Amino acid sequence: MKNEMIAVILAGGQGSRLKDLTKDSAKPAVPFGGRYRIIDFTLSNCVNSGIYNIGVITQYQPLTLNNHIGNGASWGLDHLDSGVTILQPYSNKEGSKWFEGTAHAIYQNIDYIDSMDPEYLLVLSGDHIYKMDYDQMLQTHKEKKAALTVAVIDVPWDEASRFGIMNTDENNRIIEFEEKPAHPKSNHASMGIYIFNWQRLRSVLVNAFTKEVPMIDFGKNVIPFYIKSGDNVFAHNFSGYWKDVGTIQSLWEANMEFIDDQDGLNVRDRSWRVFSKNPIAPPQFITDTATVNASMVVDGCFVAGKIEHSILSANVQIKGGSLVKDSVIMPGTLIGKNVTIKRAIIGENVTIGDNAVIDGTKEVAVVGNGEVIGVKPDED
């Protein structure tokens, strides 16, 4: 099978900064925006950019992610000559290895990539919310005859020292890379999106690992090596909405921004749809005791309480007298009567008993998947 470009999504991380939300599944599988899981944005970007062969590298609690991705049918990836392949650790004659870093994970999956025979390899993270046409980036890569192209976004100067910063020349060539510099020389932050000429990356990785030269991470090892080796490394500028959702605070913020859809993500644009696995669920039922404002609600919800500026995911039930404000309720969660929830993220399949109060006014409150808070609601 010959492909011009395939994508590999690094979805291995536990995402421990998401606390209890990732205790039993990987970060890319965390629900988002009522209808999605985080990885849906990256997968949909691929499909919308015309990339139909995707490897998803994962090693932490992959069951939810595997179930979600399945055969890729939800993204049209079960098409002829297309597919999504979950890549987990395995053993071979040389022994068995866990993935030790982003570049090492690619090295361990050379066989998969070779079997797809791509000219270009697109490396992605599975934990950002954004819409981006990777095909445009590929055009940049080809025009510049680059060996490596890194997508960059300009961040506010005062935040630049939290990112990997790319210093570029007047041709947009990257001449220096600094990981979280104390005194950044530019505000061009790496988005963790790379296009490599596969044969070059392959030989760099094989050479390094054979000789035990450290080449574990893209940011720490590979990009500096490329720059030092005189390979053509270019930046591709991106200016749309882009949000890392790696912390509770940023995940909550991204969800809140998502509600009003005024952040430039333009999620209702059907020419660049965000695909996801659709559950089988009846329409939402807003009863005569409910009020719902400035909120998003999806199939299977039963709402008898008051919802203000919040997101309710599939099959959430909220009984009478309860208030949900500035919060995200993940799928399958049941909320009893006279409950108050403010500035919170409530995980999947949580049960919250009558009269409970969850107040995240100071710091966003989190309830982990499957937890039971207070008395179970009456089964009336």
Partner 1 sequence: MKTNKICAIIGNEHEYADLLPLTENRPLSTLYFDCKYRIIDFALSSVVNANVRSVFMLVNEGRVKSIFDHLGGGREWGLDSIGSYQYFSFYQDMVRKKAQGELPVGDIIDFLKAAKAPYTVYLTNKFVCNLDLRAVLKIHQEQNNQMTAVFKRAAANRIAPDDHILTLKKDGTVKHVKEFRKMSSKTEVYNLSLGVFIVNTEWLIEQLQNSQTLSLEEFLFNSLPQIKSSTYEYTGYVSNIYDLPSYYQANLDMLNSENYNSLLFSSHKVITRTKNEVATYFSIASDVQNSQIATGCVIKGKVANSLISRRTLVDNGAVVDHAIIMGSTKIGAKSQIRYALVDKDVTIDPGVKIIGQPDNLLVVKKNEHITANIHGGK
- Report CA torsion sign: 67, 68, 72, 73: positive
- The nearer residue to partner 1, 208 or 307, going by C-beta atoms, is 307
Number of chain positions touching its own copies (CB under 8 A): 30
Query: Could you tell which of partner 1, its own copies, none binds residue 261, using a CB distance below 5 to 8 A set by kind?
Result: partner 1
Q: Is 216:104 a contact under the CB 8 Å cutoff?
A: yes
Q: Is 6:54 a contact under the CB 8 Å cutoff?
A: yes
Among 17, 59, 135, 273, binds its own copies (CB under 8 A): 59
Among 8, 45, 76, 96, binds its own copies (CB under 8 A): 96
Q: Is 274 in the site for partner 1 (CB under 8 A)?
A: yes
DSSP string of 132-173, one letter each residue: --HHHHHHHHHHTT-SEEEEEEE--GGGGGGSEEEEE-TTSB
Taking alpha carbons only, the member of 68, 60, 13, 80 closest to residue 43 is 68
Query: Could you tell which of partner 1, its own copies, none binds residue 157, using a CB distance below 5 to 8 A set by kind?
Result: none
Q: Is 323 in the site for partner 1 (CB under 8 A)?
A: no
- The nearer residue to partner 1, 268 or 362, going by C-beta atoms, is 268
Binding mask 11-50 for partner 1 (x = CB under 8 A): ----------------------xxx-----------xxxx
- The nearer residue to partner 1, 37 or 104, going by C-beta atoms, is 37
**Positions in 76-115 near partner 1 (CB under 8 A):** 76-82
Cα 98 to Cα 31: distance, rounded to the nearest angstrom: 26
Q: Is 366:341 a contact under the CB 8 Å cutoff?
A: no
Residue reference for tokens 């179970």: 376
Number of chain positions touching partner 1 (CB under 8 A): 49
The tokens for 60 are 């932490």
Among 129, 204, 248, 267, binds partner 1 (CB under 8 A): 267
Smallest separation, CB 1 to partner 1 (Å): 11
What are the φ and ψ backbone dihedral angles of 214, each rounded to 5 degrees?
A: -65, 125
The tokens for 113 are 């990539």
Cα 187 to Cα 122: distance, rounded to the nearest angstrom: 23
Among 158, 170, 212, 288, binds partner 1 (CB under 8 A): 288
Q: Look at strands 311-312 and 328-329 and give their pairing.
A: parallel
Which residues of this chain interact with partner 1, rule CB under 8 A? 4, 33-35, 47-50, 73-82, 135, 259, 261, 267-268, 273-276, 278, 280, 282-288, 290-299, 302, 307, 311
Which residues of this chain interact with its own copies, rule CB under 8 A? 14, 23-24, 58-63, 66-67, 70-73, 78, 83, 85-86, 88-93, 96, 98, 111-112, 115
